[in-house]
Chain A
Amino acid sequence: MLINKDTKVIVYGITGKQGRFHTKKMLEYGTKIVAGVTPGKGGEEVEGIPVYDNAREALKRHKAEYAVLFVPAASVKTAAFEAIERLNLVIITERIPVNDMIEIVQKAKAKKRVIIGGNCPGICKVGESKLGIMPNNIFKKGDVGIVSRSGTLTYEIISQLSSAGIGQNICVGIGGDMIIGTGFNKILENFQKDNEIKRIILIGEIGGDLEEKAALYIKDNITKPVAAYIAGRTAPPGKTMGHAGAIIGESGEGSAENKIRILEKNGIKVAKLISEIPGLIG
């Protein structure tokens, strides 16, 4: 289980516009935010949450397992390096330089920490805790595990599942960038081990090879039913489509067709329309 109702959280960048807005929403959802960190703003308070200058100060007074980062892209590496010493990370920030992410991931491996993101909407353990920015009111509690590279597309799919009466157990946004902390496979492994999760939805998009690798991993390791949706069938090769990570190579590698073909070949049903997903997983 990645998070649950007891998971204690520190919010980095809590005094910024995004940090404040989402701290309020997370608290409304029931997340146990214990402290915030903004260098130089130690002593302040946001929504009743005490702010500290750094994690060390915060952790002297509070216990926590996760940090959620709302800091600007150029500051992520510094903040992450500090937080990784004691905490797992959910990095919401987008446009983090790839070289920085490679370093952060290496450090996390050395410290055995979990990193979700960057450029991700976070994690929501439905009805228990939310680390990130997914809208509070789209969820319905159930047994589906969702893992996705997208943000708003994930909300759309969750919304349609809820309308169809298919509830979710946990939703993990792994992020849209070229280098992310955790790919599909580790999350799928986690879902397979979690008895509360009975079925899985994988949401992918063009660029990279994570979906192709996930297809092979699912074939060998996942016994629960998996359905998928892959965005970008219409994307032309060679153009950047929003996410840094969503680029199709000129020879077609990373294309939606390729991902869909390999997923289907390995027994995963792929929806052509979002509205088909409830039917595939129901």
Chain B
Amino acid sequence: MKLKEYQGKELLKKYGIKIPKGQVISSIKTLKKPDKECVVKAQLLTGKRWKSGGIKISEPEQTADTCKRMLENPINGERVEEVLVEEKLAIAKEMYLSITIDRFNQNYLLLYSHHGGSYVEEIIKENPDIIKRLNFTKPDEKELKKIIDTKEIIPIAKRLFDLVKKENALLAEINPLVITDKREFIAADAKIILDDNALNLEKDKLNYVKLEGDIGIIGNGAGLVMATLDTFKQLGGNPACFLDLSGGTGAEIMKKALQAVLANPKVRALFINIFAGITRCDEIANGIVDYLGEENPSVPIIVRMVGTNEQTGRQVLEQKGIKVVESMEDGVKQVLKEI
């Protein structure tokens, strides 16, 4: 789960890392007029806010207007629900500090650089040596000292790791970590992503991603569903969505999945791809039939169904006039014919 900047900053503050003084508002009614020049920041999950007008320096008199305009106008297709109005820092230097998960080395990776700011990625591409890296499972003072040459940043790095461990973060990035002219160390931005597996998210939330095309796709297993989308693309189709059913999905969830996908008016055909292990084909078939009993979709539905209880599942569907195929690629081609 990606946190917005202000949420990330609240966490940093909780772990003893300084953040700029500021206020988060979702309406200008609650705005306290700043007494000096400030920075107005749209709280978006997408990046590169400077480029898209999501960050503006503002005089006290203009601040209300700047906030209002940001809240009223989506940026990069994302609605601005909150705006963060912060003191403008007297920046002497912008550093970069982050801790993330290193998948290949199966541990944590700390990244540190004297070159923080919006262009850090471009700078790294030109000169990879400017970013210092440290892999670890527990932060070691000696190891940290080897790569972090600014002594005040060492405790900040330790606190950042504390946050990562206790809050189950997959990424905690401070960019820029500002050194002010008074030599204070302040996190001017915060990008934190929390591990969904450690959060108690709703168990029944559908794994659904809406896309731009006209072919609805539902399947069981992320890899299989992605491969189904890829197959359609390869053969000239345009997926309308990705929907991954968890293993062992029952009729109830299957019905919800159909509702979600077919609620999209762009969808002109639906392909359901089931390779059932722990999942049972008859459960899936019952969910589809339940849905058809309530709705009358105008779009053709083609089901590919193999695995556990496939005979029963197939019978249930064929009785309702639903086309069932055995081969995934055949199913894809038949759907493309229907469009």
Contact = CB atoms under 8 A, between A and B. Distances in A.
B209 A241 contact: yes
Interface residues of B, number: 50
B328 A274 contact: yes
Contact of B329 (A21, A152, A275): A275
Interface string B253-292: 0000000000000000000000111100000000000000
B275 A233 contact: no
A97 B197 contact: yes
Contacts of A134: 277
A164 to B, nearest CB: 12
B222 A102 contact: no
A234 B233 contact: yes
Nearest to B279: A152
B224 A205 contact: no
Interface stretch (B10-18, B98-106, B174-182, B317-325): B98-106
A231 B168 contact: no
Nearest to A274: B227
A102 B108 contact: yes
B252 interface: no
Interface in A206-234: 206, 208-210, 213, 229, 231-234
B156 interface: no
A98 B198 CA distance: 8
A156 B225 contact: no
B242 A233 contact: no
B197 A239 contact: no
B168 A97 contact: yes
Contacts of A210: 103-104
Given A73-B197, A96-B197, A98-B198, A159 B221 contact: no
A156 B328 contact: yes
B26 interface: no
Contact of A274 (B222, B231, B233): B231
B222 A155 contact: no
B224 A153 contact: yes
Contact of B222 (A135, A156, A205, A229): A205
A195 interface: no
B226 A151 contact: no
B239 A234 contact: yes
Given A97-B168, A98-B197, A206 B226 contact: yes
B242 A244 contact: no
A239 B209 contact: yes
B308 interface: yes
A229 B168 contact: no
B106 A98 contact: no
A70 to B, nearest CB: 10
A241 B329 contact: no
A19 to B, nearest CB: 11
Interface stretch (A1-9, A34-42, A175-183): A175-183
Given A133-B278, A244-B197, A245-B103, A234 B223 contact: no
B59 interface: no
Contacts, number: 159
Nearest to A245: B103
A121 interface: yes
Contact of B221 (A102, A151, A178, A179): A151
B90 interface: no
Contact of A234 (B226, B244, B276, B329): B226
Nearest to A149: B223
Question: Which of B47, B222, B224 gathers most chain A CB within 10 Å?
Answer: B222
Contact of A236 (B107, B108, B211, B220): B211
Contacts of B233: 233-234
A159 B306 contact: yes
Interface string A183-211: 10000000000000000000101101110
A48 interface: no
A209 B106 CA distance: 12
Contacts of A232: 226, 230
Contacts of A96: 197
Nearest to A151: B221
B170 interface: yes
Nearest to B329: A275
Given A95-B197, A99-B165, A153 B227 contact: yes
A106 interface: yes
A250 B47 contact: yes
A273 B197 contact: no
A272 interface: yes
Contact of B223 (A73, A97, A151): A151
Nearest to B225: A242
Given A18-B278, A203-B223, A231-B223, 20 more contacts: A99-B168, A102-B108, A102-B137, A133-B278, A151-B224, A152-B223, A155-B277, A159-B306, A176-B222, A208-B103, A209-B103, A210-B103, A231-B226, A233-B233, A241-B209, A241-B242, A241-B244, A244-B195, A251-B121, A274-B231
9 contacts: A150-B221, A153-B224, A155-B275, A177-B197, A213-B104, A229-B227, A234-B226, A241-B242, A245-B103
Interface of A: 18, 21-22, 73, 95-99, 101-103, 105-106, 121, 133-135, 148-156, 159, 176-179, 183, 203, 205-206, 208-210, 213, 229, 231-236, 238-246, 250-251, 256, 272-275
Those 6 A-B pairs whose CB atoms lie nearest each other, nearest first: A242-B222, A150-B223, A152-B221, A153-B223, A242-B244, A97-B198
